[in-house]
Structure 1
Amino acid sequence: MTKEEAERVIRHLVHKWAKDSGINLATEQPSFSAFQSWLHDNAYSHYLSFRSANGAQYDAQAWFDQELRQTSRN
């Protein structure tokens, strides 16, 4: 899987996870580790397997933060 393919799917799954988990994005700061656990529990963890200079985990967390508008916390 390419990094671009993984990015598209992970960005989509962030919103699916937040909705399915009942996360209130206005009042909560969701955890990337909780999202990552959800990926593993729902057989999506293979989307974290792609080549990246920074590392797949690092990039996935950056996309997570961007999608949930949490980039200011980093």
Structure 2
Amino acid sequence: MTKKEAEPAIRHLVHEWRAERGLPLPPSDHHYSFSDFKTWLDSKSHGNYLKFRSTMGADYDAEMWFDQEMKQTWRN
């Protein structure tokens, strides 16, 4: 999988994860957990979306996309 292929999938899956967990829509005072999202990805057999080449690393990029989607880029 390429980074270009993974990005839209990760961004979409972030919202599936949030809805499945019953978490509030962003922006919110809720702290959304990338670690929980990664665990959820693995449990749904979507871990392959975190296997792409990247200068900073796939987890780094995926967490940035996660934070952008959850409106919590202030953390970075």
Normalised by the length of structure 1, the TM-score is 0.95
State the Cα distance separating 1:29 from its structure 2 match: 1.1
Cα distance in structure 2, aligned partners of 1:27 and 1:21 = 16
> What corresponds to 1:20 in structure 2?
20
What is the CA deviation profile of residues 17-65 of structure 1, one whole-angstrom value per residue up to 9, with x for unaligned ones?
0001101142311100000000000100000000000000000000000
Cα distance in structure 1, aligned partners of 2:33 and 2:3 = 22
Q: Secondary structure at the match of 2:56?
A: coil
What stretches of structure 1 move > 4 A for 4+ residues in a row?
A: none
Q: How does 1:1-74 map to 2 (within 5 A)?
A: 1-25=1-25, 26-74=28-76
5+ unaligned residues in a row in structure 2: which ranges? none
Cα distance in structure 2, aligned partners of 1:58 and 1:49 = 12
How many residue pairs get aligned? The number is 74
Cα distance in structure 1, aligned partners of 2:29 and 2:69 = 15
Q: Which amino acid aligns with 2:15?
A: H
Q: Which amino acid aligns with 1:28?
A: H
5+ unaligned residues in a row in structure 1: which ranges? none
Root-mean-square deviation over aligned CA pairs: 0.8
